[in-house]
């Protein structure tokens, strides 16, 4: 509704207008009612021209000129929009760029390969020279390179051309390594946010709802604008429906070694077997084929990075090897029992065969290997 404050004219104006008001006929006929409405309209226009402040909009839901709510919404969106530079515009960088652009953020891209046509099709700007990209003063520098190239790429980036409070973000599969690289090469006036989307173009092709996004605010300046920038970046993944998990880089690497690295290792071991689909596939076998397909699509550099740059991966590899050897011993032990029963009959009834012990929780708990020692008697 439109609520208008009452008009309070001065005494001279009241005297001037009152004769006119007194001359209005009080007939109820339609013709006179129409004339009276027209007069009130002209009187309202005259008053607005002479005294603009006499008519004030009081109601909150009053119609505002030029679509006031839309202008406010657009102004708010512009204030939260980020200019994000993606360094490493491969499959994963392009996958993230689609969501960034869809939410109204500006994306700049740089990569060793020429992806200018892909960037243009997505609505991003591609810069072959990192100097040109940094001169655009992005709010966020996002590293989406292979982990084995991270240090080299960061050292070659002309950070002196950036604004002094630029936010650096990584999306690598390991976290302690990029964190240490950032702290080593970036001056203290740059902000650092380490993240890991626990999904990729394949697992996230149907949407990110419910998928896990891990982050660690390593170093963020105390200014409210810098804190707000970090929140605006994290909100990109919140709006896509991700399950947001804040944890330290060390915690992430410990958990990832026991889940992500084991998953990739098993998938690549099965890939070596050249598994093929059959006319009688079970559901479990179908899952194994899907695992092989998903892990084989990732580059070996990614898998090597999971092993090389996560100190917990070696422990998991040794545990996996120990578990396989223990399983073989259990199988051979049962086979040995069957053969002994065939040879000796009921002589050894009631003797229990070897049973696979539980896998220790830590490699350090493995029993030391037994060695045959020979005692030499000099007497």
Of 1-5, 224-228, 313-317, highest mean pLDDT:
224-228
Q: Structure pTM?
A: 0.68
Contacts of 57 (CB under 8 A, 6+ apart): 2, 3, 4, 64
Residue 45: pLDDT band with limits 50, 70, 90: low
Percent composition of the chain: helix, strand, coil (DSSP 3-state, to 5): 55, 10, 35
Q: Name the DSSP letter for residue 166.
A: P
Residue 301: pLDDT band with limits 50, 70, 90: confident
**Average pLDDT over every residue of 14-31:** 48
CA distance 9 to 14: 6
Higher pLDDT, 88 or 15: 88
- In order, the DSSP letters of 73-136 are HHHHHHHH--EEEEES-SHHHHHHHHHHHHTT-EEEEE-SS--HHHHHHHT-EE-SSHHHHHTT
Residue 374: pLDDT band with limits 50, 70, 90: very low
Dig out the tokens for 72 from the structure: 């406010």
Interval 310-326: pLDDT, tens? 999 999 999 999 999 99
Contact between 171 and 191 under an 8 Å Cβ cutoff? The reply is no
Asked whether residue 302 carries a pLDDT value surpassing 90, the answer given is no
* 311 exposure class (CB count in 10 Å sphere: 0-12, 13-18, 19+): middle
Dig out the tokens for 97 from the structure: 């760029």
Tokens 């520098």 sit on residue? 141
Mean of all residue pLDDT scores within the chain? 82
3-state secondary structure 231-289: HHHHHHHHHCCCEEEECCHHHHHHHHHHHHHHHHHHHHHHHHCCCCCCCCCCHHHHHHH
Contact between 153 and 87 under an 8 Å Cβ cutoff? The reply is yes
**Average pLDDT over every residue of 177-201:** 97
Cα→Cα distances 128→110, 111, 345, Å: 6, 7, 79
Residue 286: pLDDT band with limits 50, 70, 90: very high
> Domains (ranges, CATH) in the chain?
78-247 (3.40.50.720), 259-314 (no CATH)
CA distance 263 to 243: 21
Interval 92-128: pLDDT, tens? 999 999 999 999 999 999 999 999 999 999 999 999 9
pLDDT at 17: 46
| Count of Cβ atoms closer than 10 Å to residue 206 Cβ | 7
| Count of Cβ atoms closer than 10 Å to residue 103 Cβ | 15
Share of the chain above pLDDT 70, in %: 70
What order of strands is seen across the sheet that includes strand 243-246? 125-126, 106-110, 83-87, 140-143, 167-170, 191-197, 212-219, 243-246
Interval 123-172: pLDDT, tens? 999 999 999 999 999 999 999 999 999 999 999 999 999 999 999 999 99
CA distance 127 to 139: 16
Asked whether residue 243 carries a pLDDT value surpassing 80, the answer given is yes
**Average pLDDT over every residue of 11-35:** 49
pLDDT at 352: 60
């Amino acid at each position: 509704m439109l609520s208008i404050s009452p008009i309070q004219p001065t005494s001279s104006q009241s005297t001037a207008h009152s004769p006119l008001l007194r001359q209005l006929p009080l007939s109820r006929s339609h013709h006179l009612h129409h004339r009276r409405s027209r007069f009130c309209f002209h009187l309202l226009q005259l008053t607005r021209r002479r005294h603009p402040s006499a008519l004030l909009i009081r109601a909150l839901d009053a119609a505002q000129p030029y679509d006031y709510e839309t202008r406010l919404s657009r102004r708010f969106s512009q204030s939260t929009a980020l200019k994000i530079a993606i360094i490493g515009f491969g499959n994963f960088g392009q996958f993230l760029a689609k969501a960034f652009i869809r939410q109204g953020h500006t994306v700049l891209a740089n990569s060793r390969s020429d992806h200018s046509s892909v960037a243009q099709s997505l609505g991003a700007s591609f810069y072959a020279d990192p100097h040109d990209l940094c001169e655009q003063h992005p709010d966020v520098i996002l590293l989406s390179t292979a982990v084995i190239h991270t240090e080299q790429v960061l050292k070659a980036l002309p950070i002196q051309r950036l604004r002094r409070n630029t936010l650096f973000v990584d999306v690598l599969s390991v976290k302690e390594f990029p964190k240490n690289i950032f702290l080593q090469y970036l001056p203290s006036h740059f902000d650092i946010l380490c993240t890991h989307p626990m999904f990729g173009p394949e697992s996230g092709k149907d949407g990110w709802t419910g998928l896990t996004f891990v982050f660690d605010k390593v170093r963020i300046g105390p200014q409210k604008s810098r804190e707000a920038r970090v929140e605006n970046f994290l909100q990109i993944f919140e709006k896509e429906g991700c399950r947001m998990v804040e944890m330290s880089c060390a915690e992430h690497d410990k958990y990832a070694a026991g889940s992500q690295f084991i998953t990739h290792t098993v998938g690549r071991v099965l890939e070596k077997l050249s598994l093929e689909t059959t006319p009688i596939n079970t559901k479990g076998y179908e899952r194994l084929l899907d695992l092989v397909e998903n892990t084989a699509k990732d580059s070996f550099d990614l898998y090597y990075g999971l092993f090389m740059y996560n100190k917990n991966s070696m422990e998991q590899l040794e545990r996996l090897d120990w578990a396989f050897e223990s399983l073989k011993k259990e199988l051979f032990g049962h086979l040995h029992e069957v053969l002994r029963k065939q040879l000796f009959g009921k002589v050894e009834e009631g003797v229990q065969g070897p049973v696979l012990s539980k896998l220790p929780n830590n490699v350090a708990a493995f029993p030391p290997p037994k060695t045959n020692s020979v005692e030499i008697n000099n007497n």
